[in-house]
Amino acid sequence: MSDAKTRIDETVKGNDVVLYMKGTKSMPQCGFSSRVAGVLNYMGVEYTDVNVLADDEIRQGIKDYSDWPTIPQLYVKGEFVGGCDIITEMTLSGELDGLFDENGVAYDKDAADKIRAANG
């Protein structure tokens, strides 16, 4: 197992919610990363952010790890959930709430409802 894959595996399995993104949760550096981080931040989800721009091995490694070509990538309880479009759809449909509920991830249900109301 490569060093990057080992580090990714440890991060994904060692944290309840992980977002591999361009930039950080407080300073996203692309629109797609900003959208997913914004949803998680607004919903009050505690998550680990990994800035792929800071490490080329991780930037490529995460794509190989998930067999998903784009960033951001969201993981919940060690499982790959999806990228920006999937997370946006799941947020608007309520599926993301269900996923968090199933996995015991704390979030602000009122904030999730406000996102849906604003985009409904």
Per-residue HEC secondary structure of 35-55 comes to HHHHHHHHCCCCCEEEEHHHC
- Note the pLDDT tens digit of each residue in 47-97: 999 999 999 999 999 999 999 999 999 999 999 999 999 999 999 999 999
* Residue-level pLDDT at 110: 97
Q: Which helix (H) or strand (E) holds 98?
A: helix 95-102
| Residue stretches of the annotated binding site | 30
Q: Which CATH class is domain 3-118?
A: alpha beta
Query: How do residues 2-52 score in pLDDT, each as one tens digit?
Result: 799 999 999 999 999 999 999 999 999 999 999 999 999 999 999 999 999
Domain ranges for the chain: 3-118
Half-sphere exposure (Cβ direction) of 115: Cα atoms closer than 13 Å: 24
Count of C-beta atoms within a 10 Å radius of residue 80: 18
For range 90-110, the mean pLDDT: 98
Predicted confidence at residue 120, as pLDDT, reads 78
Q: Residues annotated as binding site for [2Fe-2S] cluster?
A: 30
Cα atoms in the Cβ-side hemisphere of radius 13 Å centred on 49: 22
